[in-house]
């Protein structure tokens, strides 16, 4: 019983020190992870264009809108995903 307590205490200390549980993998590039997560939220493939991102955002908002049984949190998540992906697009010159 003491051993289980010490293991649990060690896991909690690890979480407090590193911000993740011992069994969670390290995320080497949080920017890429966030971008991949945003693409997953909107259901997009890498390299999506601006119109594709906007279309996917409109479809996602229509599906998760609070009037249709969704939640405000899902709407905010879709909007944040759109904003992140649009910010990552290269800026056209000219």
**Residues 65, 60: Cα–Cα separation, whole Å:** 8
Q: Which residues contact 79 (CB under 8 A, 6 or more apart)?
A: 57, 61
Reported as a single tens digit per residue, the pLDDT across 39-71 is 999 999 998 999 999 999 999 999 999 898 889
Contact 65/75 with Cβ under 8 angstroms? yes
Contact 41/87 with Cβ under 8 angstroms? no
In this model, does residue 16 exceed pLDDT 90?
no
Which of helix, strand or coil describes residue 10?
helix
CA 41 vs. chain centroid, Å, equals: 7
Task: Name residue, tokens 């949080």.
Answer: 30
Mean pLDDT within 3-13:
92
Reported as a single tens digit per residue, the pLDDT across 69-85 is 889 999 999 999 999 99
Mean pLDDT within 16-40:
80
Q: How confident is the model at residue 92 (pLDDT cuts 50, 70, 90)?
A: confident
Regarding pTM above 0.85, the answer is no
Domains in the chain: ranges and CATH: 29-88 (1.10.287)
């Amino acid at each position: 019983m003491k051993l289980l307590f010490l293991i649990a205490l060690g896991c909690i200390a690890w979480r407090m020190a590193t911000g993740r549980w011992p069994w969670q993998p390290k995320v080497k590039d949080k920017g890429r992870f966030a971008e991949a997560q945003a693409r997953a939220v909107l259901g997009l493939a890498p390299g999506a264009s601006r119109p594709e991102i906007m279309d996917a955002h409109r479809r996602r908002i229509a599906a998760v809108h609070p009037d249709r049984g969704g939640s405000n949190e899902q709407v905010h998540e879709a909007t944040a995903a759109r904003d992140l992906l649009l910010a990552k697009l290269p800026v056209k010159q000219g």
